[in-house]
Structure 1
Amino acid sequence: MDPVLPTPQVLVADPSYGAGLDPAESETAAVDVTVEGVPWRPITPGGGEGGELAFIDGAQQIEAWLTVTTPGDPRALPGAAFAVAAGAVITARGRTADIVGLRVRRAVVTVGDRRLHLAPVGGYAWESRCEAAQEATGLARRVGEVRQQLELALAEEIAHRDRLVVLDGRLSFIRDAAGPVVGAIKSHHRMYLPPEEARVVVGLGVGQRTPLFAIGEDRLSWYQRLPGVGDHGWAGILRGEVARSLGAQEARHLADRAARELPYFAGRPHRDPRAPQNLAPVAGLEARLRHRMGDRRLALRAVRRAAAAARLDDATRVGVAVAEPDPLAA
């Protein structure tokens, strides 16, 4: 009789949002799994008072690709015109959510150190930025950095000692937050834990977390499970992180609070293909931010009009070819 093989656990993700796990990044990172000083097994935080939470997210859209040429110089200078937005949802268990701090910025960014200037057109205005890397993803990465700067500034602005701020994505650099800030990472592009500790992740129940582990010198992290898509494998697994400078005791307190509180705000699979890790307040905020950024086609039309009188930093009048971005581009 053939042996019965174990049934694999398959997590299905919408391909519109990229791969759930990048094979090129599947090796484990250098981490310290001893920072909390407890055995590596699922932790169920004790009961605690709920409090106010603020969920922060941003959105971005590239509205035109630009190719800049100066008279007498055949070399092309790549660029992009784009919009970024950020906002926050302030809520608590059993309380109506409030969307606050909505802000939108438009900019044009170029590769290298020369800024391209576009005159305002029909209600559209663009900041001038530069220093995108000379590589295929350099412009897109620079757009992401501008969006992230907007999110971090908002996080620092609304932070309060009694409010848990949940930033969608990695923390990066929070400088002067006046209260606790947690990064909530929904996509797992890298395996941070060695196999023995990773077994604890797949064994988590809803509302449980792993012990803390350190990633490099600046972050303390943990995994926790959200409800809605099962309680096996990597289904519903969210990674949280805080600044290591907080110390292990404060990080433990914030990890416990996140494990207790975030399941109440898990996304619903029938409403959001990225649920439950894309938290419900974040999903609603994303829709509002995209509405605020406006119609990409109208922005593209404005860029084409403004490009007719574009100039570089040295006041050189330039020729600018404007191309429509891929409709799926961020």
Structure 2
Amino acid sequence: MTPGFTVDPWDPGYAAAIAVEALSELGATSAELVLDIERPVADWKPVTPGPDAAAPDTLLVADGVRRIDARVWVHDPDLPMPVPGIAASYAAGIVRCGRDGAELAAVEVNRSLISASPYAPEVKTAHAAYRPSKAADSSFEELSLALQRQVTQLEVDLAVRHRSLGDDLLLVDGPLRGRTHLPRTVGYIKTHHAAYLPPPQSAVVAALTPGQRTPVFLMGTSWRRHAWYLRLPVQSSAPWAGIARCEASAELDPAQVVRLADAVTLALPALAGVDYKDPRAPQNLVPIGGLEKLLRHHLGDPRLLYRSLRTAAVQ
């Protein structure tokens, strides 16, 4: 019997490290900006949350990780050549942070075989099962984005299941895309692949002190969202040291998004990473760093999974 797929011997990690945040920001140089959401453009300056602002009593931190376990070729009887795909593992989790500390609320692991072919099989190995999933085309970029969409959906599912308080705030690691419909939710971007703001407003970012943020603005590339920059506690005096960008739904009115921005700006400094423990500090928040480490452990041994996929392919 002809197997439904073949495992490519090429190292699955090669060229797999596509920055998903960077992919979401393609075309950023043509971003549309509305800068006067909170303040007139001429009055842009660092914002310190006022006495009426408050950090949330409960902050949920959601994150997901992904790994390509193998590059595969799916046998398609309608085509002369097999169709490329990926066998991937991914996991998502939520940490609940409150006044009494932080606790793990949820962890879930899934695995998929992603291909543009409708004949992608379900693969059951001795150690894991990979469910078939369809990609729009066979390019590696699309396969990677299809995987990221599954990670995002798993994060959304967990968030919906584990949000029990009407005043909690959900922080998702990475751009908010695909999650803008969730209430009281903020996307958290640690790294910066594009300079969105004009020079005068970028100078305001550089002038932020720890615990301050920029005014809220509206931005649109291939999708629209509110955004602001904030600075976390940091030793370095470099202009963008400790800077993170936050995103919120474009559907919020200005007063709502300003309250959300103030709440996040007050909540995050206490969660900032420290450089002697994490080279990505302070932007890699302690709950995010701990959750990522746990999730990667839950993905399993990549060498074992790769060998089991190769065995399943010839059975």
TM range (shorter): 0.7 to 0.9
Aligned length: 290
Match of 2:13 in 1: none
Query: Larger Rg: 1 or 2?
Result: 1
CA contact (8 A) 1:229 1:276 kept: no
**Is 2:289 the partner of 1:271?**
no
Instruction: Measure the CA separation in 1 of the matches of 2:106 and 2:281.
Output: 24
CA contact (8 A) 1:205 1:231 kept: no
Please give the secondary structure, in 2, of the residue aligned with 1:297: helix
Amino acid at match of 2:114: V
Q: Please, what TM-score do these two structures have when normalized by structure 1?
A: 0.81
Instruction: Measure the CA separation in 2 of the matches of 1:103 and 1:303.
Output: 21
Instruction: Measure the CA separation in 1 of the matches of 2:30 and 2:205.
Output: 14
Structure 1 segment 154-193 matched on structure 2, within 5 A:
154-159=158-163, 160-174=165-179, 177=182, 179-193=183-197
Structure 1 residues 178-223: Cα deviation after superposition (integer angstroms, max 9, x where no partner) = x411111111111111111111000000000000100137311100
Give the Å deviation of 1:274.
1.6
Match of 2:72 in 1: 66
CA contact (8 A) 2:54 2:262 kept: no
Structure 1 residues 31-64: Cα deviation after superposition (integer angstroms, max 9, x where no partner) = 0001113520000002444411111100001001
Percent of matched pairs sharing the same residue: 35
**Is 2:33 the partner of 1:37?**
no
Where has structure 1 moved over 4 Å in runs of 4 or more? Answer: 70-73
RMSD: 2.6
Amino acid at match of 1:162: D
Q: Please, what TM-score do these two structures have when normalized by structure 2?
A: 0.84
What stretches of structure 2 of length at least 5 have no aligned partner? 1-16
Instruction: Measure the CA separation in 2 of the matches of 1:163 and 1:230.
Output: 32
What stretches of structure 1 of length at least 5 have no aligned partner? 1-15, 310-330
Q: Closer, same or farther in 2 for the Cα pair 1:229/1:150, shift >3 Å? A: farther
Instruction: Measure the CA separation in 1 of the matches of 2:201 and 2:252.
Output: 23
Structure 1 residues 107-142: Cα deviation after superposition (integer angstroms, max 9, x where no partner) = 101124x14113422241111101242324222222
Give the Å deviation of 1:231.
4.5
Give the Å deviation of 1:21.
9.1
Instruction: Measure the CA separation in 2 of the matches of 1:49 and 1:249.
Output: 14
Structure 1 segment 1-330 matched on structure 2, within 5 A:
27=29, 29-38=31-40, 39-47=43-51, 48-50=53-55, 51-69=57-75, 74-93=80-99, 95-112=100-117, 114-159=118-163, 160-174=165-179, 177=182, 179-216=183-220, 218-309=224-315
Match of 2:6 in 1: none
Please give the secondary structure, in 2, of the residue aligned with 1:117: coil
Give the Å deviation of 1:280.
0.8
Instruction: Measure the CA separation in 1 of the matches of 2:173 and 2:78.
Output: 46
Please give the secondary structure, in 2, of the residue aligned with 1:276: coil
